[in-house]
Amino acid sequence: MPKRRLTAYLNNMDKRPILFIDSGIGGLPYCRDFLKSNRREEVCYAADRANFPYGQHSKDELSSILISLTKKLLIKVNPKIVVLACNSATVSAIEPLRKHFPGVPFVGTVPAIKPASNYSKRGKVGVLGTTRTIEDPYNQNLAYECEKKCEIIGVAAPDLVEFVEKRLDSFDKKDKIVKKEKKEIVKKYIYIFRAEGADCLVLGCTHFLYLLKEFKRYAFPFIRIFSSLNGVTRRIESLLDANSGALRADKKHQPVNKLILTGTEPADDGWKNRAEKLGFELYLSD
């Protein structure tokens, strides 16, 4: 077979899934955003319920948790790319994971500090995240790398993570009580950053994307909201397209997407409903 035809034949043949990892529902927006423009790619979303929430673990604990989990999932799922769809997981464990599994491409989810700093007129950028993300020097290091130097105002919001995971799970769009709660909890943090003089706010936790519309609505026109959603999708696509698309699946591939839950508890109705809405097969894993 001629070399050119052989190359074309070998390309677009990698049907292995792309693995997304988070402790709960926070990483699902990244998974959905990727699938919008990559329907032929197969994905597997792992919700590590056994260790929820990631943001309350120490850096060493979280690194150990994710190395152990990734080892199991590499055997079970055999992914071609692993996405840490969680800011806490990324800032704590992406480098240890890359060293532990050198042959695996990892994509991280980091706060969008660079674009926010470049946009800021006042030189003050707010970062809202988990305790683990806010305490990690990773954020300040990102700020140092920016052309435009800004003061980083970090605020931990573990209550916001719990609210999204627990309250929005059973949220009925007509539920006026939950609508009021969403408004109050988002405005509380907007007021904090306005008082600090920030004109940009980075949503540094994947869970907060569920409140993206509310943050944009109540921050306008004083604060501009930034997230890493689109950047993560572009990064995954760049890895798939490298080397003439060697990691791309066949255009005729019919993916079977999966949702894996860790922990010994059975899947509750919330996870069953999510799997059904996404069209994912639901599995339990120890």
Catalytic residue among 44, 86, 150, 200: 86
Gyration radius from the chain CA atoms = 19
Q: In whole angstroms, what is the distance from residue 217 CA to residue 228 CA?
A: 18
The reply to whether 200 belongs to the active site is no
The kind and range of the H/E element at 258 are strand 258-262
Catalytic residue among 31, 44, 150, 205: 205
Q: List the one residue out of 139, 131, 150 whose CA is nearest residue 224.
A: 150
The reply to whether 205 belongs to the active site is yes
Give the CA distances from residue 13 to residues 5, 80, 84, 150, 208, in Å, rounded to whole numbers and listed in that order. Answer: 14, 12, 24, 45, 36
Question: Helix crossing, 28-36 with 269-278: angle to 10°?
Answer: 10
Instruction: Give one DSSP letter per residue of 27-46, joined into a string.
Output: THHHHHHHHHT-TTS-EEEE
Burial class (CB in 10 A: 0-12, 13-18, 19+), 177: exposed
What are the phi and psi torsion angles at 266 (to 5°)? -70, 160
Q: In whole angstroms, what is the distance from residue 35 CA to residue 40 CA?
A: 8
Span between the terminal Cα atoms of the chain, in Å: 46
Q: In whole angstroms, what is the distance from residue 69 CA to residue 76 CA?
A: 10
Catalytic residues: 86, 205
